[in-house]
Structure 1
Amino acid sequence: MKAKKVIIIGAGIVGYSTAYFLNKSGCEVTILEQTDGNNNCSYGNAGYVSPSHLVPLASPGIISQGLKWMLNKRSPFYIKPKLDLDLIRWVRLFHKASTDKRVKEAIPVLYDLTVKSQKLYEEILETERIEAGYNKSGLLMVCQTAQALHHEEEMVKIAESYGLEASTLTREETEKLDPNVQYNMAGSVFFGCDSWMTPNVFMAKFRELLIERGVDIQYHSTLTDFKIENGKVKAAKTKVAELIADEFIITAGAWSPLLMKRLGIFMPLQGGKGYSFMMENLPSNPKLPSILVEARIATTPMLHGLRVAGTMELAGINHTINQPRIDGIIKSLKVAMPSLADYDFSSIRPWAGLRPCTPDGLPYIGRVSSLSNLQVGTGHAMLGWTLGPITGKMLAEEVLGEKASVKSELLKVERYN
């Protein structure tokens, strides 16, 4: 059988993972990327691979909490006030999806995706001998208040019902588990099932591997249009070429709905801007990553220091650094981790990335019904890094005609049409 030609649009972890599995199966793969490929969400994220994250972003209570936060420029969640019909529709759909029924339907799907993706990461790291600081020692959810701790204990019950390692810890037990850091806390929840790594290191080595094996990655290559013939995508047009292929896959993150609009397909998705920065030369790094629950801030001990990441800002497609958001992260960090109060934050270099967020908190993965050779893999929100390999595997399986690793109507690309 003649090897299939596949064009992937987007060079993040989903695009790279899709290319990896297709290349292993003998496909001829080209990746188109509009940037230099070094600054997307796959590089500056918290690096978590988290089976514990079973509850989608759209969940009961998030709307009322969001309304309290949304007009505060320093809060964990912020919506920039503007008249935008796509944003208004997204918020309405988000509200509709934030129900107990919807969450219960989503949890088993997220369990399958996260657990299988973690295994795929481990297989890739071992098989390809990639060293990126992978560590499977667990994750702490650090709570300053008893109320927050009680809420996280509900997550423990859910995790345990799926056989995942999870437990509630006192302040003393938390400090014993990680003596390198002192938290301002009532207690914590420990998810021993979670792992982490340094994502930018993994991405650089993964890219080298793909190029060595013949994947053609074309950076600074902006897609301008598609050529459609007889219900199929015939070619992808850039400013300098018209690229013909058998299969086309959009893995362009927050830019994906803009490409879908050109095809006349409605796919609600908002870019949720998040920020991160590295803290270097600390006396000692924490042993474990942590999520500071009330502030929605993630901290991760990486190969080159401590990465701090957080906030969700809906402000359109841009990478502008909103300094009050950074100030809010620093203020919350000092309160939650008092030992960092004297750190010189003037030396940090803030980074911003756009998490692609669907209204119901589940990604879009699979074929488009109106175009038989087009697939989409995006909308992972805060789970983009966690779910990269399984999404790539599923997209590759569809191209190759193999049985899907995970199959669910809740992941359909056109579920809002």
Structure 2
Amino acid sequence: MKSHKEVIIIGGGVIGLACAHYLLESGAGVRIIDKGLIGSGASYGNCGLLCFSDIIPLCSPGTVGHEIARTLKRTSPLYIKPSLDINQLVWLLKFALKCTESHKLKTAREKYEILNYSMGLFDSLLSLDGMKCDFEKKGMLTVFKNKKNFDAYQTTSAFLDAYHMGAERIEKKELLELEPALCDDIAGGWLNQTDWHLRPDMLMDSWRKQLARKGLIIEEYCNLIDFDIQDNSLAGVNTVKGRFKADYIVMATGAWTPLALRQLKLNLPVLPGKGYSITMERPGACPSHPLALYEKNMVVTPWKSGYRLGGTMEFSGYNDVLAPKRLSNLVSGATAFLKEPLGNPVIEQWSGLRPMAYDDLPVIDRAPSHENLMIATGHGMLGLTLATGTGKIVCDMIYDKTPEINIKPFGINRFR
């Protein structure tokens, strides 16, 4: 086995940087190529949550009926653009078929393992010098307007308790003392101390600089043209900047991965799920904890250096169009829960594409047709949270080491 390995990572988001981090630690030569700027995609404008307690899959019992009911009431954060795209129709059908109790229980166990693994790796990563990203371990506070919903969350917390990730129930009076920024008509909240938060754009900037000092080569605005295939193996890639050779190639292109793999005739059931965010200065009455506004299905993240509203799930294909309705929903949602929902000035309105697999599990595996092609995508809304675990698994597989957790649930063969 060749001891020194040259690796090309396609995609400069948080998954790409995580793969580069562990590969460089192992002595590999690493080059990242990206069609734009490093860290400019979904890794840039997300809400910066490290949701290690998010073990319950999106495809759970009751999800379909719940979202249909909310859509009819025009209160759903989900929007599916009508389309005859067969890939989208099949994906939606398979998602619906996964909304079972057995899938929920199985997937929760599998997600827990990689989430817990990623937590330990993140703890080590964020203790390194130079990783400046407004990182805090304050937990995640889920806030409720409706008393029935507040009480019903006890079932969710009890489920998480089995994994030592349960939340603390906080009654209205105590909650308003803890978070005076909240409106007086809230019903209560649940605080999960397992979760952390950081500012993702700052993380990407500091991480990139650290990796560059360790020898990472970065090629920005470097569109992939095709793969250089020789004797059924990938010898490298052809790009607008020329040909680059490699022993291994890692696809970390997020929602764009299915398009990038068309040449290899590898069909991955991953759809782009668009999310939105609004970034602004901290309001005068700013929450001290990240907030999940339950009835609005959105998030509020306060940082030392700023403030962000984020959420929604839009299936409308590959586009970065900002829909005014989605942005206004974020504003109205925050207004329903917070006394001072907006900061001034608004710095940026943003949208990005999440790579959504219908079973709500990532894809971390070798390509079936090419042993030296690694695929790391399908992380859904947990790309940031799962980055370290994914990067370490990819590195171990490239170096023919047995990963430290069971990776079978994340294999490509599960889609066959």
> Once structures 1 and 2 are overlaid, which stretch shifts more, 161-170 or 366-375?
161-170
After superposition, residues 396-415 of structure 1 pair within 5 angstroms as 396-415=395-414
1:140 aligned to 2:122? no
Call closer, same or farther: CA 1:183–1:53 in 2, change over 3 Å. farther
Call closer, same or farther: CA 1:170–1:60 in 2, change over 3 Å. same
Distance 2:381 2:183 in 1: 26
Call closer, same or farther: CA 1:414–1:128 in 2, change over 3 Å. farther
Deviation at 1:82, TM superposition (A): 1.7
| Structure 1 ranges of 4+ moved more than 4 A | 69-74, 343-346
Call closer, same or farther: CA 1:72–1:371 in 2, change over 3 Å. farther
After superposition, residues 208-223 of structure 1 pair within 5 angstroms as 208-223=209-224
Distance 1:165 1:416 in 2: 32
Distance 2:19 2:259 in 1: 21
Call closer, same or farther: CA 1:280–1:183 in 2, change over 3 Å. farther
Answer whether contact 1:278 1:348 (CA < 8 A) is retained. yes
Distance 2:153 2:261 in 1: 37
SS at match of 1:257: helix
SS at match of 2:53: coil
Q: What is the one-letter code of the residue matched to 1:408?
A: I
Deviation at 1:266, TM superposition (A): 1.3
Deviation at 1:339, TM superposition (A): 3.4
Percentage of matched positions with identical amino acids: 29
After superposition, residues 27-66 of structure 1 pair within 5 angstroms as 27-66=28-67
1:353 aligned to 2:352? yes
Structure 1: runs of 5+ lacking an equivalent:
none
Q: Deviations over 1:371-406 (max 9, x none)?
A: 111111111111111111111111011011222122
Deviation at 1:128, TM superposition (A): 3.5
Deviation at 1:131, TM superposition (A): 2.2
Answer whether contact 2:278 2:346 (CA < 8 A) is retained. no
TM-score, normalising length from structure 1? 0.95
Q: What is the one-letter code of the residue matched to 2:165?
A: L
Q: What is the one-letter code of the residue matched to 2:187?
A: A
Distance 1:70 1:38 in 2: 33
Deviation at 1:119, TM superposition (A): 1.7
Q: What is the one-letter code of the residue matched to 2:255?
A: A
Answer whether contact 1:231 1:372 (CA < 8 A) is retained. no
1:246 aligned to 2:242? no
SS at match of 1:294: helix
Distance 1:313 1:266 in 2: 22
Answer whether contact 2:122 2:388 (CA < 8 A) is retained. yes
Q: Deviations over 1:316-369 (max 9, x none)?
A: 0111100011111111211122433xx477845311011110001111011122
Give the corresponding residue for 1:126.
Answer: 127
Structure 2: runs of 5+ lacking an equivalent:
none
Answer whether contact 1:266 1:414 (CA < 8 A) is retained. no
Q: What is the one-letter code of the residue matched to 2:376?
A: G
SS at match of 1:66: helix
After superposition, residues 373-388 of structure 1 pair within 5 angstroms as 373-388=372-387
Call closer, same or farther: CA 1:74–1:275 in 2, change over 3 Å. farther
Answer whether contact 1:73 1:324 (CA < 8 A) is retained. no
Give the corresponding residue for 1:117.
Answer: 118
After superposition, residues 152-191 of structure 1 pair within 5 angstroms as 152-182=153-183, 184-191=185-192
Give the corresponding residue for 2:102.
Answer: 101
1:225 aligned to 2:263? no
Distance 1:347 1:191 in 2: 29
Distance 1:205 1:316 in 2: 31
Distance 1:101 1:79 in 2: 26
